[in-house]
Amino acid sequence: MEDVAALVDRVWRADAAGMLGALARRLGDFGRAEEALSDALAEALKRWPEDGVPDNPPGWLVTTGWRKALDRLRRDAAGRAKAAQVAAEPAPTPGVDDRLATIFACCHPDLPQPARVALTLYAASGLSTAEIAAAFLVPLPTMAQRLSRAKRQLRASGIRFEVPQPDEYADRLPAVLAVIYLVFNEGYLSSGRSAQRRELAREGVELARQLAALLPREPEVAGLTALLELQQSRAAARFDSWGRIVLLERQDRQLWDRAAIGRAALRLRSAVSQGRPGPYQVQAGIAALHALAASYEVTPWAEVRALYDRLSSLDPSPVVLLNRAVTTRFVIGPVAALEEVDALAGRLAGYHLWHAARADLLSTLQRPAEALAAAERALALATNPAERELMSRRVGELGRRR
């Protein structure tokens, strides 16, 4: 039988946005909703071992949180009027609109962009502050302060938890899309041994699909959805039976979901036909080239590199340039690729995948000592367990070759 604490955590992570949104929409306050659910989670840890797990755990948590919130309001002189106003209403039940309302509220334009992304990731997926900090490559105290400020700003601005009107989408979609992508990646990059993480990746795909259904005229929403669907189509081949990462060139493509690839390609084609290109559509195009190639060896690398050129014009980040440099190895050669990677040293020296890319290129160029040093540095910087295991294997391989 699953440990109750693990079950409570899984339920929270599976529908944090729906539960928070259901309470926040009724209470009109994210802080009160979060506090009420925290009380409900603590109550579950005490009662479920004795009473048994309820048939509908999220519903139980929201109902219990609702009662806890009313008790707090009644004890608070300033909240008694609010308690009287909402006490006669039935306890809310979480749903799709609550999930989307939570995301859009946390991505309100009154909040700074970094706060929008961090707060929405926290509220939508139930990730810990430490996990969010790792996703943003920032220290834990920095992220904790950012989240605290975001919560205060959310309350001070009086932002309501509701699905926005169409004229508000342009201001709020970029942060929403970034959050969904981060939710997906948090699960996708570490799902080898964890059903919970696989569920988190699926949640990212489902959130994207729901948003695409809600906003059919937004090509970047469709682009992100296609991108996540293409990546998820390879999920069965990304980890071996021990839960270890299998790199793209070694994956068994017979395990890929070809039907999902076809559907994602059609979705992407429809998005591109709207004539409003964006970075998610380009990333999906890159993923499609990989997914549609019969083998790694026949991947159209020149086309992939050209799309990275396009992506860098839309999103000139060093990580995009690093990915472009990796493709340079197959188009021009490893010497040119290493030059491009080394040119990013000033911006990516603290990024584990920069060192991992250098290790691969240096190994190809028969520079084993330097390759080993780069791989060891990548291992030291990596925080994701699956990536650390992969880099540990790589360090071992390079060490044996010396």
**Residue ranges of domains in the chain:** 1-94, 95-193, 216-295, 300-402
The 10s digit of each residue's pLDDT in 127-138 is 788 877 876 667
The 10s digit of each residue's pLDDT in 78-128 is 555 555 556 556 667 777 778 888 888 888 888 887 787 788 778 877 778
Strand partners, 239: 245
CATH class of 300-402: mainly alpha
What is the value of pTM for the model shown? 0.74
Looking at every residue in the chain, the average pLDDT score rounds to 87
Q: Return the structure tokens found at 53.
A: 């797990």
d(CA 231, CA 251): 13
d(CA 360, CA 371): 7
Listed ranges 68-82, 149-163, 368-382; the one with the highest mean pLDDT = 368-382
Residue 1 pLDDT grade (very low, low, confident, very high; cuts 50, 70, 90): very low
Listed ranges 5-19, 42-56, 168-182; the one with the highest mean pLDDT = 42-56
* Single-letter amino acid code for the residue at 150: A
d(CA 296, CA 248): 8
Rg (CA), the chain: 23
The 10s digit of each residue's pLDDT in 370-379 is 999 999 999 9
* pLDDT higher than threshold 70 for residue 181: yes
Q: Return the structure tokens found at 314.
A: 């839309």
Torsion of CA 203, 209, 211, 214, to 10 degrees: -140
1-94 and 300-402 in the same fold? no
What pLDDT is stored for residue 84 in this prediction? 57
Cite the DSSP H helix spans in 56-106: 57-75, 80-86, 96-106
Q: Which residue has the tokens 């992407």?
A: 268
| Phi and psi, residue 95, nearest 5° | -150, -175
The 10s digit of each residue's pLDDT in 224-271 is 999 999 999 999 999 888 888 899 999 999 999 999 999 999 999 999
CATH of 1-94, one of 1.10.1740, 3.30.30, 2.20.25, 2.40.50: 1.10.1740
Residues 15 and 135 sit within 8 Å (Cβ to Cβ): no
What pLDDT is stored for residue 137 in this prediction? 62
DSSP code at position 164: P
